[in-house]
Amino acid sequence: MEIEKTGDNQNVFHDRGFYYELRRNIQERRLAEHITNCLNLIGDKVLERTNKTLLDLFHKHSANALIFLLAGVQYERWQAPSYYIKHHPGEDFQVIAITKKDDKVCQSIINSAPQKEQAKLLAAIDLFQRLMKDDLQIKTEEHLLVFEQEGWREDVPAQENAKGKLYELIAQRKGEVDYRTLQMINPIHRPLFLIECEIVVNNDTLIAKGLGLTKKEADHHAADQLLQALSQINTSLVRPSNSADNPISILNEMKQRGKIQAVSYTYNEQGTPQDRSFSCLCSVTTLQGTVMSTSGNEASKKAATRSAAQQMITALSL
């Protein structure tokens, strides 16, 4: 992500690809517009107190936009937001985000979306914008109690053991799971941890990264992303194949139907003209932004491509 200095203490984001990636992944134009507006505020008010590394994380992990916004709140010493939900069957989720600092309370407007997480992200963005504008309201605990009695309930996510679930799932497939700490941002005050989780099953590798205020939280986010990716793959990505199916065509069809973001092939030729061999690297980007790669080695370029594509379909079926 490029940051262009346009004046004293002013930063402007220039990354059209980031905007379109968000719009494509979340399939919500309004959400992408809100995030774009929020980035403009971040450029003026927050970047001076953060660093480019954090921006790189945001660029590479747009799915963690909510975590990034909450990290900005942490730099201002605000409490992590609480979310209040109101939902009736057949209707959109309504969400309000509230955060506190000493005797001050900042509250978002009511945000609605078909999915709860979308509504929570909209509420977080609105809350973040209000914090940057110092749009504060002083509320009492009694006020919040009445607020709850009006039909809103606090969203308290269940503390699912994503790491344990991932270990169990991969153990059933006789694979391996490994966690690595890539970076600790701002180690002196309120550190942020970047963790990478890698799983290997049948020589196929899948990697995801998690960002959190503690290593445990970062581990959880990384494991949860892999679980979501595996769930998405198992439920909607791959259709059963048979010998009559062309694996290259199957992957292209999956891309056309929006089951995966992208598929690409790179080649390498080895040997002499009389004894040549070709290697093909097939790379697929899932809807969660995870990149998976498989390779094929054959006597012809076409056969190597087919072999790599078939291995990718097998990997997506894990």
- How many residues can be counted in the chain? 318
| pLDDT value for 132 | 66
CATH architecture assignment, domain 162-237: 2-Layer Sandwich (3.30)
Q: pLDDT tens across 261-278, in order?
A: 888 898 888 877 767 788
Q: pLDDT tens across 277-304, in order?
A: 888 988 888 887 778 888 888 888 888 8
CA 151 to centroid of chain Cα atoms: 31
Position 98, amino acid: I
Q: What does the block give as tokens for 95? A: 């969400």
| pLDDT value for 179 | 92
Q: How many Cβ atoms sit within 10 Å of the Cβ of residue 208? A: 24
**CATH classification of 2-154, choosing from 3.40.1360.10, 3.30.450.20, 3.30.160.20, 3.40.50.11540?**
3.30.160.20
Question: Residue for token digits 């992500």?
Answer: 1
Q: Are 74 and 162 in contact (CB under 8 A)?
A: no
Average pLDDT of the residues of the chain: 68
Does this model's pTM top 0.85? My answer is no
In sequence order, what are the beta bridge partners of 5?
11
Domain boundaries, the chain: 2-154, 162-237, 247-316
Whether 162-237 and 2-154 are alike in CATH topology: the answer is yes
Q: What CATH number does the domain located at 247-316 have? A: 3.30.160.20
Q: For a pLDDT cut of 70, what percent of the chain falls above it?
A: 58
**CA 225, CA 64: separation in Å to the nearest integer?**
10
Q: pLDDT tens across 121-145, in order?
A: 778 778 777 776 665 655 555 555 4
| pLDDT value for 79 | 67
| pLDDT value for 253 | 83
Environment class of 235 (CB within 10 Å of its CB; exposed 0-12, middle 13-18, buried 19+) = exposed
In sequence order, what are the beta bridge partners of 102?
none
